[in-house]
């Protein structure tokens, strides 16, 4: 019997998506579901959700376990899905925004790069290491499906310290962006064929086309570039279509995310620039508030008699589990060690590339070299990622300073003295959420 463990299962809405996908697959309906979260109230709600999904799908013998302790949940797992947010919305994420704001440094999302992404990585990686140590003991053959941001930093650290564990980082930006572009183009997403490569949140499509019933194909980039020139795209996507105009390729992560991976778009000292690019400082905090309310609404729905709908999401987790368990080939986009997959990115970094999945696990596709200017844009993020991993592995504070000084958005707003003081203030504010650095 396949055992699937969800770590951070109190992320109820996301857990609902993953479990709905998994349990909708007849070959997986007899799986054991082990839920773990340190928040007992949220854990209980997710357990109810899992059982309601089973009821909706007519699964009579669904086995769902709820664990406040991680180790019993991990024991004997075949798949471990990570979806936690270390430190939560309060205090950690709020701190990531409020302390930099005192220096005039505004952020939109702050979970992947920027000073917020750096701090999130530093408090998350030690927890990941604890999970990896538990997995080595309790489920050494399991596949870790790593959904936690900052994706590349987390996967890089795991690769460096636990290379023997089978791990793939998963995001929904590639497939979601493809659906977004299908909508802009007025096309059916099912007719699209595309190839993408790079690093998580900074990957670009090198092929984006429509496939007709007779097998012929249409390159959709000319139409996308025309839309970019005519500015007939949704106003919330100003940044990504501006990038298309300037670099000739479309990036996978949203404009709100991508805006803080460079020094070009998000200038808190230039509010007119922020307004022009349709950005909102503190966007992630607003989203967190909405998600908390969504969770309370979900709880109220569960207490009623309305049937729980099960809809297929665009997450890759269920496809990976199906491919490994049944051998039915699946294609996903995964975050994996580069090791030459993208020739002109560093071998030690984590890249996001097409992967095939079957009984042999996740098998990445070698893409060769990507356009040099795109590799250079990715290099801005890779430099920061490397220093965060160095800090987490060595415990040396100096790497945190270096990560912050190399971060393009932070360096675009603050001088070096301000960056040093900001790092010190953030480390102090995070307190016990961070290990001691020397």
Q: Is the pTM of this model over 0.95?
A: yes
Torsion of CA 191, 195, 196, 197, to 10 degrees: 160
171 is annotated as contributing to ligand binding = yes
CA of 406: how far to CAs of 306, 359, 382, in Å?
52, 41, 10
- Per-residue pLDDT tens for 184-211? 999 999 999 999 999 999 999 999 999 9
pLDDT at position 298 is: 83
Structural contact between residues 179 and 314, judged by C-beta atoms closer than 8 angstroms? yes
* Cα separation, 329 vs 336, whole angstroms: 18
How many residues are listed for the chain in this entry?
438
Structural contact between residues 142 and 7, judged by C-beta atoms closer than 8 angstroms? no
Q: Where are the alpha helices (DSSP H) in 30-113?
A: 40-56, 70-74, 94-101
* Cα separation, 55 vs 44, whole angstroms: 17
Nearest to 158 by CA among 260, 210, 103, 80: 80
Q: Please tell me what DSSP assigns to residue 263.
A: S
Q: What are phi and psi of 406, to 5 degrees?
A: -85, -20
Q: What are phi and psi of 288, to 5 degrees?
A: -60, -45
* Cα separation, 286 vs 36, whole angstroms: 26
The domain defined by 3-88+112-171 carries CATH number 1.10.10.410 = no
How many H-runs (helices) and E-runs (strands) does the chain carry?
17, 12
Residue 91, preceding bond cis, omega within 30 degrees?
yes
The fold adopted by the segment(s) 89-111+172-438 is LDH C-terminal domain-like (3.90.1820)
Q: Where in the chain is the domain with CATH 3.40.50.720?
A: 3-88+112-171
Which residues of the chain are under the pLDDT cut of 70?
Answer: none
Q: Is 304 exposed, middle or buried (0-12, 13-18, 19+ CB in 10 A)?
A: exposed
Rounded to 5°, the CA angle 194-198-199 comes to 125
pLDDT at position 299 is: 86
Name 3's bridge partners.
Answer: 32
Name 332's bridge partners.
Answer: 355
Residue 369, preceding bond cis, omega within 30 degrees?
no
- Per-residue pLDDT tens for 370-401? 999 999 999 999 999 999 999 999 999 999 99
Residues tagged active-site: 172
β strands within 69-134, DSSP E:
79-82
pLDDT at position 301 is: 84
409 is annotated as contributing to ligand binding = no
Give the end-to-end CA distance of the chain in Å, rounded to a whole number.
46
At what angle are helices 114-138 and 372-394 packed, to 10 degrees?
A: 60
Nearest to 108 by CA among 242, 233, 261: 261
Nearest to 412 by CA among 96, 102, 107, 95: 107
pLDDT at position 382 is: 98
Q: What are phi and psi of 263, to 5 degrees?
A: -100, 15
Query: Six-digit token pair at 134?
Result: 């538990």
β strands within 155-236, DSSP E:
166-169, 192-199, 202-211, 217-219
Site of tokens 């376990």: 65
* Cα separation, 375 vs 357, whole angstroms: 26
pLDDT at position 143 is: 98
Q: Where in the chain is the domain with CATH 3.90.1820.10?
A: 89-111+172-438
Q: What are phi and psi of 265, to 5 degrees?
A: -110, -35
């Amino acid at each position: 019997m396949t055992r699937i463990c969800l770590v951070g299962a109190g992320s109820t809405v996301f857990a609902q998506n993953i479990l709905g996908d998994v349990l909708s697959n007849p070959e997986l309906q007899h799986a054991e579901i082990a839920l773990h979260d340190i928040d007992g109230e949220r854990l209980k709600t997710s357990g109810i959700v899992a059982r309601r999904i089973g009821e909706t799908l007519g699964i009579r013998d669904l086995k769902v376990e709820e664990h406040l302790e991680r180790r019993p949940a991990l024991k004997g797992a075949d798949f471990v899905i990570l979806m936690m947010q270390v430190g939560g919305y309060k205090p950690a994420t709020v701190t990531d925004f409020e302390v930099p704001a005192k220096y005039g440094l505004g952020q939109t999302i702050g979970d992947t790069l920027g000073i917020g992404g750096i701090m999130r990585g530093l408090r998350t990686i030690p927890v990941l290491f604890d999970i990896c140590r538990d997995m080595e003991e309790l489920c050494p053959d399991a596949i870790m499906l790593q959904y936690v941001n900052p994706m590349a930093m987390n996967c890089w650290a795991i690769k460096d310290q636990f290379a023997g564990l089978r791990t793939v980082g998963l995001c929904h930006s590639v497939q979601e962006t493809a659906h977004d572009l299908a909508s802009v183009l007025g096309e059916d997403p099912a007719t699209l064929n595309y190839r993408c490569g790079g690093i998580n949140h900074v990957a670009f499509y090198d092929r984006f086309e429509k496939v007709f019933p007779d097998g012929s194909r249409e390159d959709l980039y000319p139409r996308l570039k025309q839309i970019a020139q005519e500015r007939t795209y949704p106003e919330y996507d100003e940044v990504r279509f501006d990038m298309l105009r300037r670099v000739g390729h479309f990036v996978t992560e949203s404009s709100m995310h991508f805006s803080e991976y460079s020094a070009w778009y998000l200038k808190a000292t230039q509010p007119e620039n922020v307004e022009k690019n349709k950005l909102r400082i503190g966007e992630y905090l607003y989203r967190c508030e909405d998600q908390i309310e969504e969770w309370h609404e979900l709880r109220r729905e569960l207490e009623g008699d309305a049937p729980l709908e099960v809809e297929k999401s665009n997450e890759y987790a269920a496809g990976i589990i199906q491919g490994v368990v049944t051998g039915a080939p699946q294609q996903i986009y995964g975050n994996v060690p580069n090791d030459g997959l993208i020739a002109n990115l560093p071998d030690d970094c984590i890249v996001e590339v097409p992967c095939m999945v079957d009984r042999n696990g996740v098998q990445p596709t070698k893409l060769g070299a990507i356009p040099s200017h795109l590799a250079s844009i990715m290099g801005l993020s890779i430099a920061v990622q490397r220093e965060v991993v160095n800090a987490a592995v060595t415990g040396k504070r100096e790497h945190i300073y270096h990560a912050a000084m190399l971060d393009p958005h932070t360096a675009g707003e603050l001088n070096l003295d301000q960056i040093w003081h900001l790092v010190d203030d953030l480390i102090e504010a995070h307190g016990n959420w961070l290990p001691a650095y020397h």
